[in-house]
Amino acid sequence: MRSVRVIVRGRVQGVGFRWFVRESANAHAVTGWARNLRDGDVEAELHGTIGAVESVIDTMRTGPASARVDEIIVSAADPVAPAGFEIRSTA
Protein backbone atom coordinates (compact mmCIF):
# COMPACT_ATOMS: atom_id res chain seq x y z
CA MET A 1 0.00 0.00 0.00
CA ARG A 2 1.05 3.57 -0.65
CA SER A 3 -0.14 6.84 0.92
CA VAL A 4 0.90 10.17 -0.61
CA ARG A 5 0.13 13.85 -0.46
CA VAL A 6 0.12 15.57 -3.85
CA ILE A 7 0.31 19.30 -4.59
CA VAL A 8 -0.60 20.30 -8.15
CA ARG A 9 0.42 23.72 -9.46
CA GLY A 10 -0.76 25.49 -12.59
CA ARG A 11 -4.23 26.39 -13.85
CA VAL A 12 -5.96 23.77 -11.72
CA GLN A 13 -8.81 25.64 -10.05
CA GLY A 14 -12.10 26.40 -11.77
CA VAL A 15 -11.50 23.63 -14.32
CA GLY A 16 -13.03 20.60 -12.54
CA PHE A 17 -9.66 19.29 -11.39
CA ARG A 18 -10.84 17.91 -8.03
CA TRP A 19 -13.70 16.00 -9.68
CA PHE A 20 -11.26 14.73 -12.31
CA VAL A 21 -9.03 13.38 -9.53
CA ARG A 22 -12.01 11.79 -7.77
CA GLU A 23 -13.07 10.07 -10.99
CA SER A 24 -9.58 8.69 -11.55
CA ALA A 25 -9.26 7.61 -7.92
CA ASN A 26 -12.59 5.80 -8.02
CA ALA A 27 -11.61 4.07 -11.27
CA HIS A 28 -8.42 2.78 -9.64
CA ALA A 29 -9.90 1.91 -6.19
CA VAL A 30 -7.86 4.68 -4.53
CA THR A 31 -9.26 6.43 -1.46
CA GLY A 32 -8.51 9.90 -0.13
CA TRP A 33 -9.55 13.47 -0.83
CA ALA A 34 -8.85 16.58 -2.92
CA ARG A 35 -9.25 20.28 -2.12
CA ASN A 36 -8.36 23.70 -3.47
CA LEU A 37 -5.73 25.73 -1.66
CA ARG A 38 -5.99 29.50 -1.28
CA ASP A 39 -2.79 30.01 -3.33
CA GLY A 40 -4.41 28.48 -6.45
CA ASP A 41 -2.95 24.99 -6.10
CA VAL A 42 -4.87 21.73 -5.59
CA GLU A 43 -3.91 19.36 -2.79
CA ALA A 44 -4.84 15.68 -2.72
CA GLU A 45 -4.18 12.71 -0.52
CA LEU A 46 -4.19 9.29 -2.15
CA HIS A 47 -4.22 5.82 -0.56
CA GLY A 48 -4.09 2.51 -2.40
CA THR A 49 -1.83 -0.02 -4.02
CA ILE A 50 1.43 1.31 -5.42
CA GLY A 51 0.30 0.79 -9.02
CA ALA A 52 -3.13 2.34 -8.47
CA VAL A 53 -1.74 5.45 -6.75
CA GLU A 54 0.85 5.85 -9.52
CA SER A 55 -1.92 5.60 -12.13
CA VAL A 56 -3.89 8.40 -10.45
CA ILE A 57 -0.77 10.57 -10.19
CA ASP A 58 -0.12 9.97 -13.91
CA THR A 59 -3.62 11.19 -14.81
CA MET A 60 -3.09 14.23 -12.55
CA ARG A 61 -0.03 15.18 -14.60
CA THR A 62 -2.31 16.15 -17.50
CA GLY A 63 -5.59 16.91 -15.71
CA PRO A 64 -8.86 17.71 -17.45
CA ALA A 65 -8.82 19.35 -20.88
CA SER A 66 -9.06 22.94 -19.62
CA ALA A 67 -6.34 22.55 -16.96
CA ARG A 68 -2.64 23.33 -17.26
CA VAL A 69 -0.41 21.39 -14.90
CA ASP A 70 2.94 23.10 -14.33
CA GLU A 71 4.26 21.04 -11.43
CA ILE A 72 3.34 18.09 -9.22
CA ILE A 73 4.95 17.58 -5.82
CA VAL A 74 4.50 14.16 -4.19
CA SER A 75 5.37 13.44 -0.57
CA ALA A 76 4.57 10.74 1.97
CA ALA A 77 1.26 10.92 3.85
CA ASP A 78 -0.07 9.38 7.03
CA PRO A 79 -1.02 5.80 6.10
CA VAL A 80 -4.49 6.05 7.67
CA ALA A 81 -6.74 5.65 4.63
CA PRO A 82 -10.27 7.05 4.65
CA ALA A 83 -13.18 5.13 3.16
CA GLY A 84 -13.96 6.40 -0.32
CA PHE A 85 -12.83 9.63 -1.96
CA GLU A 86 -14.16 13.07 -1.05
CA ILE A 87 -13.97 16.61 -2.33
CA ARG A 88 -13.04 18.87 0.60
CA SER A 89 -13.59 22.57 1.17
CA THR A 90 -10.86 25.04 0.34
CA ALA A 91 -8.05 25.08 2.89
Choosing from 36, 61, 68, 88, the catalytic residue is: 36
Alpha helices, DSSP H only, in the chain? 17-27, 50-60
**CB contact at 8 A, 12 and 69:** yes
Is there a catalytic annotation at residue 26?
no
Please give the single-letter amino acid code of residue 64: P
Choosing from 2, 5, 9, 18, the catalytic residue is: 18
Supply the DSSP symbol for 30. -
Q: Which residues are catalytic?
A: 18, 36
